Structure 1
Amino acid sequence: MQDETFIHPLAIVEPGAGIGAGVQIGPFCHVGPDVTIGDGTRLISHVVVAGATTIGRNCTIHPQAVLGGPPQSTGHKGGRTTLTIGDNCIIREFVSMNTGTDFGRGATTVGDNGHFLAYVHIAHDCAIGNNVTMTNGVTLAGHIEVGDFVGIGGLSAIHQFVRIGHNAFIAGGSMILGDVIPYAMVGGNRATLRGMNVVGMKRSGVPKAEILKLRRAYRILFDRTRPLAENIERVREEFADSVYSMKVVDFMLARGKRQFTLPPLKGAADDDADGQD
């Protein structure tokens, strides 16, 4: 990374844009007047940054990415809304991220250390956590919440207003219509739960004892012999000493009227998780 700011002669940076120290803006980029770019960020070439967009420090943005375009919503009346991207993000070719809507959150937010591969789309009013990876062709509709350390496989699509909990893993080609609990694996066209994301939990430093508790809690939560509300209360009582299990319970209790939690495959309430303990 160069220490001095460099703007290629073939780039357009409009008056009013805020450009940090050491920023590199390559040829044929277009940076709008309401844009702020943090120190050390690099726009390789052919990047469009529009709208009221703030990009953090030390990001790398690849050709044909379009950041801060207006929301793709007929309800938006043109009010000033924003896109904020955190530090140390890698944004690959043809990624698009839109600003929020004036009837929604008014903001789209992306956390630190994100890795967004080619053709990812993040729609209006989404809130993306830290250390999130979205592989090629992932498509998010509006008003989606994604927790920290989430991995989403290629060509997956997520319905509006869905919540994805921390440390969840979504298999490639999944169609997500409901909320994904923290630490879960999901997959399929009209996706279902496939157990707990044991590998992801280990990588994140979750203790083995807590992983075992989570897997037991999972089996109780999705035991179809009892109502879900009863299962949640049972887990709440039996696993009150487990911070991670309580995060799952709190996530499920925070559902809105329009939301439902993805269930396991019909007749499969067990946590397979590739047989890992």
Structure 2
Amino acid sequence: MSISPLARVASSSVVESGVVLGAHVSIGPYCVISAGVVIGEGTVIASHSVITGLTTIGRDNIFGSYASVGEVNQDLKYAGEPTTLVIGDRNHVGKHATFHRGTVQGISSTIIGNDNRFLNNVHVGHDCVVGDRTQIGDNSGLAGHVELADEVEIGFMCAIHQFCMLGTAAKVVSQSAVVQDVPPFVIASGNRAAPQGINNKAAAFLALELYQQILVIQLYERFYHQALSIDEVKATLKAGESDYPIIAVYNEFFARSARGIIR
């Protein structure tokens, strides 16, 4: 066990031998922190939370009450292998959130980046990869193997099917079900989710130079209004690769997309 003298642990909480707590970590009342957990400096864990498994949490995160972090995943093939959950820095996690560790059939880890906001009752399934600066609304869930790129927005009461990818600054409107991949900057809505335009209020879009914003809009037109095939759009991307840096975001997305894109 390695607990910083500057960490604070409520007297009613259980911290097992083998836990590492950094400076200024705060563990609220009635929490259970199991052996193998590492919690970085300044992270706050509210009351009645359970953190278990081989879970590593970075610095300055906030976890709401009754969070369940690093528990056994819901994959029936899981047989107790030493898989992990890795969470970055400055994430804000609401009450009753659940984050599951990975599986050896996947990437053996669930990975969450930095500066994300997960509201109440959010579920992140096994082997998910979440980028930076994403937002997930109340009662929404990511099934296993879901990947979110940076700055993805997901509303409340949304369901993201396993193995789906959501590209940079994609947005899923509240009460939607996503069963295929959502390209960068696309707004998806409905059950099953369909494209509803460009997320032109996203910080990642607003940060682009005007000529690149125009390209993003043109690509949306080619995907959804000109009835071009994916291969035809990919050829368009290849032709403009050297002139438009944003094309690298699309190339990476299509290189890894396997479920087909929403239509």
Q: TM-score range by the shorter chain?
A: over 0.9
| Helix, strand or coil at the partner of 1:40 | coil
CA drift at 1:240 = 4.6
Q: 1:202 to 1:106 in 2, by over 3 A?
A: closer
Number of the residue aligned with 1:219 = 221
**In 2, Cα distance between equivalents of 1:225 and 1:151:** 26
Q: Which runs of 5+ in 2 are unaligned?
A: none
Number of the residue aligned with 2:164 = 162
Q: 1:224 to 1:253 in 2, by over 3 A?
A: farther
Number of the residue aligned with 1:269 = none
**In 1, Cα distance between equivalents of 2:26 and 2:227:** 59
Q: 1:49 to 1:102 in 2, by over 3 A?
A: same
**In 2, Cα distance between equivalents of 1:202 and 1:164:** 14
Q: Which amino acid aligns with 2:171?
A: F
Percent of pairs with identical residues: 30
CA drift at 1:232 = 2.4
Q: Does the 8 Å CA contact 1:13/1:30 hold for their aligned counterparts?
A: yes
Q: 209-218 or 168-177: which moved more?
A: 209-218
CA drift at 1:247 = 2.0
Number of the residue aligned with 1:67 = 69
Q: Does the 8 Å CA contact 1:217/1:245 hold for their aligned counterparts?
A: no
Number of the residue aligned with 2:199 = 197
Matched, 1:262 2:257: no
Aligned pairs for 1:1-277 within 5 A: 4-201=6-203, 205-238=207-240, 240-256=242-258, 259-263=259-263
**In 2, Cα distance between equivalents of 1:236 and 1:196:** 21
**In 1, Cα distance between equivalents of 2:101 and 2:252:** 29
Q: Which runs of 5+ in 1 are unaligned?
A: 264-277
Q: Does the 8 Å CA contact 1:6/1:23 hold for their aligned counterparts?
A: yes
| Helix, strand or coil at the partner of 2:246 | helix
**In 1, Cα distance between equivalents of 2:144 and 2:59:** 26
Q: 1:91 to 1:227 in 2, by over 3 A?
A: closer
Q: Does the 8 Å CA contact 2:53/2:71 hold for their aligned counterparts?
A: yes
Q: 1:44 to 1:253 in 2, by over 3 A?
A: closer
CA drift at 1:207 = 1.9
Q: Does the 8 Å CA contact 1:220/1:235 hold for their aligned counterparts?
A: no
| Helix, strand or coil at the partner of 1:247 | helix
Q: State the Cα RMSD in Å.
A: 1.7
**In 2, Cα distance between equivalents of 1:30 and 1:225:** 54
CA drift at 1:4 = 2.5
Q: What is the TM-score of this pair, normalised by structure 2?
A: 0.93
CA drift at 1:99 = 0.2
Q: 1:246 to 1:39 in 2, by over 3 A?
A: closer
Q: How many residues align?
A: 259
CA drift at 1:236 = 2.9
| Helix, strand or coil at the partner of 2:219 | helix
